């Protein structure tokens, strides 16, 4: 299995979770309190509850006569789920909406990524021209551009055009962190019409069909040497694409926010969406009183992981 850096990061974050979860179990070996303990694991399978891993900790210790090394082995099966909450307290991205049929732009929710204890820099601040300001910090603390959402990343979904048999959406990802270039970013989107993507412009696209019955979720990522680098905040800190979708005859509608994504993940972390009752709506159509309940039947993140582990690229 070969992974590039972003993919590796996603996988590593899972492994960190795994380690966190199993660390209590392996911290102490009564036979040899000072010995070394190694944990190994193999991910066996995915289920709706998470993935199943086989954990094999081994303890090496010297026998009482100090002549030989022995090894104690035990294995057990664990089921783990990825907890975004463990990884960070707040979301790290948010989503905004607009449409050709309504002038209102629905912004990211305020403080979507948490406002407390956060510093930010205004986009016209002189500080930004001082040398070294963009240098990443060791602990990756961001230097955020001031926004009402305080997110390092915003994904904007614009319902752009309506054809007879197709419709077109525009996706723009904006970076608000002056200290981060996202190389090989990924965007996972869940929308019921993604089962009929006809063409994707300027981004690469892969449907996430690897996970059981999912056909409404897909992954967008940048084209190599063109836009797989999402530059630090500023004039070049954005990437854009358009998607052409073939209308799904029985379900397609501009009503009730149907044309907007149900879930969005940037680099594996779920982004905060605007609340459903503010979605742009068609003139003369009521707001989302009887909005379809978002299906949550499968975690796209798991699908993403599965894809990352299994895909031959
Ligand atoms: C524990 O690890 C250290 C460093 O890797 C090594 O020098 C030492 O011999 C190990 N101890 C045992 C009991 O294997
Ligand atoms: C762990 O799961 C694997 C595959 O499902 C199974 O073959 C194995 O017996 C299980 N081991 C334990 C210790 O439960
Ligand atoms: C991002 O990449 C550009 C071009 O390679 C570089 O000039 C800039 O310093 C980088 N910024 C950060 C925050 O690493
Ligand atoms: C996608 O999945 C849904 C429900 O699982 C199914 O009804 C639909 O026919 C599928 N669409 C395609 C194009 O396979
Ligand atoms: C997807 O598009 C194909 C033609 O490209 C069409 O035959 C099929 O019915 C469409 N699927 C759905 C679920 O609308
Ligand atoms: C556009 O949508 C907003 C809700 O997001 C609504 O308040 C407004 O009335 C709509 N505009 C029109 C022209 O229907």
- CATH number of the domain that residue 143 is part of: 2.60.40.290
d(CA 56, CA 75): 5
What distance in angstroms lies between residue 248's CA and the mean position of ligand 6's atoms?
A: 25
Residue 141 C-alpha to ligand 5 middle, in angstroms? 45
Q: Count of CB atoms within 10 A of residue 284's CB?
A: 6
Q: What angle do CA 288, 186, 8 make, to 5 degrees?
A: 135
Task: List the one residue out of 200, 197, 216 whose CA is nearest residue 261.
Answer: 216
191 and 243 in a common domain = yes
Among 96, 104, 257, the mutation site with the greatest number of ligand 6 atoms within 8 A of its Cβ is 104
10 Å Cβ neighbour count for 173?
24
Residues of the chain with pLDDT under 50: 1-28, 286-313
The confidence score (pLDDT) of residue 212 equals 60
Same domain, 20 and 108: no
| Protein residues with CB under 6 Å of any ligand 6 atom | 102, 104, 106, 278-281, 283
Enter the pTM of the model: 0.67
Sign of CA dihedral 240, 246, 248, 254: positive
Coil, strand or helix: which one is 127? helix
The residues lining ligand 5, judged by C-beta closer than 6 Å to any ligand atom, are 195-196, 246, 248-249
- Strand order of the β-sheet with 263-266 is 203-207, 217-222, 186-190, 263-266, 269-270
Chosen domain end from 30, 65, 84: 84
pLDDT value at residue 216 = 87
Same domain for 263 and 153, yes or no, is yes
Q: What is the pLDDT of residue 1?
A: 31
């Amino acid at each position: 299995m070969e992974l590039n850096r972003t993919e590796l990061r996603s996988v590593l974050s899972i492994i960190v979770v795994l380690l966190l979860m199993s660390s209590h179990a392996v911290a102490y070996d009564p036979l040899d309190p000072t010995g070394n303990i190694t944990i190994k694991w193999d991910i066996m399978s995915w289920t709706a509850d998470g993935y199943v891993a086989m954990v094999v900790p081994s303890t090496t210790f010297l026998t009482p006569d100090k002549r030989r090394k022995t090894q104690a082995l035990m294995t057990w099966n664990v089921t783990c789920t990825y907890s975004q909450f463990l990884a960070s307290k707040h979301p790290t991205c948010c989503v905004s909406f607009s449409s050709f049929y309504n002038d209102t732009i629905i912004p990211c929710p305020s403080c979507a990524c948490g406002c407390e204890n956060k510093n930010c820099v205004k986009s016209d601040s002189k500080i930004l021209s001082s040398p070294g300001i963009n240098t990443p910090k060791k602990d990756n603390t961001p230097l955020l551009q001031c926004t009402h959402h305080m997110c390092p990343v915003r994904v904007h979904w614009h319902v752009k055009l309506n054809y007879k048999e197709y419709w077109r959406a525009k996706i723009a990802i904006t970076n608000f962190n002056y200290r981060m270039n996202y190389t090989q970013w990924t965007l996972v989107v869940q929308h019921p019409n993604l089962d009929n993507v006809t063409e994707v412009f300027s981004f690469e696209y892969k449907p996430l069909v690897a996970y059981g019955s999912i056909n409404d979720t897909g992954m967008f990522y940048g084209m190599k040497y063109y836009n797989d680098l999402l530059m630090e905040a500023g004039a070049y800190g954005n990437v854009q694409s358009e998607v052409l979708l073939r209308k799904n005859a029985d379900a397609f509608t501009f009503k009730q926010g149907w044309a907007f994504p149900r879930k969005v993940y940037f680099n594996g972390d779920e982004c905060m969406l605007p609340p459903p009752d503010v979605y742009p709506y068609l003139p003369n159509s009521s707001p989302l009183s009887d909005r379809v309940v978002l299906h949550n039947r499968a975690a796209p993140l798991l699908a993403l992981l599965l894809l990352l582990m299994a895909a031959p690229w």
